[in-house]
Amino acid sequence: MGQALGCIIVGQSNVAIKEHFGKFDDILQPGCHCLPWCLGYQIAGGLSLRVQQLDVKCETKTKDNVFVNVVASVQYRALADKASDAFYRLTNTKEQIQSYVFDVIRASVPKLELDAVFEQKNDIARAVEDELEKAMSAYGYEIVQTLIVDIEPDVHVKRAMNEINAGNLLVRLAANEKAEAEKILQIKKAEGEAESKYLSGLGIARQRQAIVDGLRDSVLAFSENVPGTTAKDIMDMVLVTQYFDTMKEIGASSKSSAVFIPHGPGAVRDVSEQIRDGLLQANASPNLLN
């Protein structure tokens, strides 16, 4: 904005306030204007129509008693058609905006807990913008945008929150590792049991095969050394011998201190007959089924 020989130039995106003998007369738009100062006309001042930004830092307390510094960024501009109100009605525009920002933030944040403040910062910014829009429109200003650009808790609170989050992370990692280790142990245990049962089955099969081979060899050797004996006689003797071996093992390994068995000379014959009858019944059952 320049003035020479009663002419004034108003720059782009600016307006000038013209007065006549100290009274508001007109708003001068960008361009060249004639201003005969000798007739009492003068320029009271100028006003920029560009968007301006004001950063306001406000300290307040949340619902869970945590002090935080909330930084709000307010973008505003003067309206050309209300330039006189913007020029004459406010002494300090920035302090006026700052007062409204303080009022809204300190009324909104104490209703929320710290986590909710971070989650609802857009709602806080919208509340600040609505309040400023209603208040500043009467003074010839337009609120373009309001942003909550930073929420910073007290340094001790921030350190405590970081420690809590780090502790929770370590607990989760430890739980995952423990679960994975238990899973591996169960898998290995199941594999070991399967292998053990497999080897046990092989051992039992080999044991039975060895018993059969031993019985066959015993029958053949006994037949050769004792002429006139039949295979049935030899098997009866082998069965009785195994019966008494089994009873011996039961007496040695059982938790009971006494085992009742038949006694007397005829007991051996009874045992032999019972074993033989059991074998005959077992052999006869498949024939009856067929």
Give the pLDDT confidence score for residue 41 in this predicted structure: 85
Closest residue by Cα to residue 107 from 123, 84, 118? 123
Nearest CA-CA partner of 60 in 50, 51, 72, 47: 72
Q: What is the pTM of this model?
A: 0.53
Residue ranges, the chain, pLDDT below 70: 1-5, 212, 215, 219, 222-224, 226-240, 242-244, 247, 250-290
The answer to whether residues 219 and 234 touch, using CB atoms and an 8 Å cutoff, is yes
* DSSP label at residue 11: P
Nearest to 48 by CA among 23, 15, 74: 15
**How far apart (Å, rounded) are the C-alpha atoms in residues 57 and 13?**
29
- CA torsion 220-225-227-231 (nearest 10°) is -30
Give tens-digit pLDDT for 170-209.
Answer: 788 778 888 888 888 888 888 888 888 888 888 877 877 7
Q: What local confidence, expressed as pLDDT, does residue 2 receive? A: 47
Report strand pairing: 67-78 vs 141-153.
antiparallel
Residue whose C-alpha is closest to residue 44's, from 70, 26, 63: 26
21 CB-near residues (< 8 Å, 6+ apart): 40
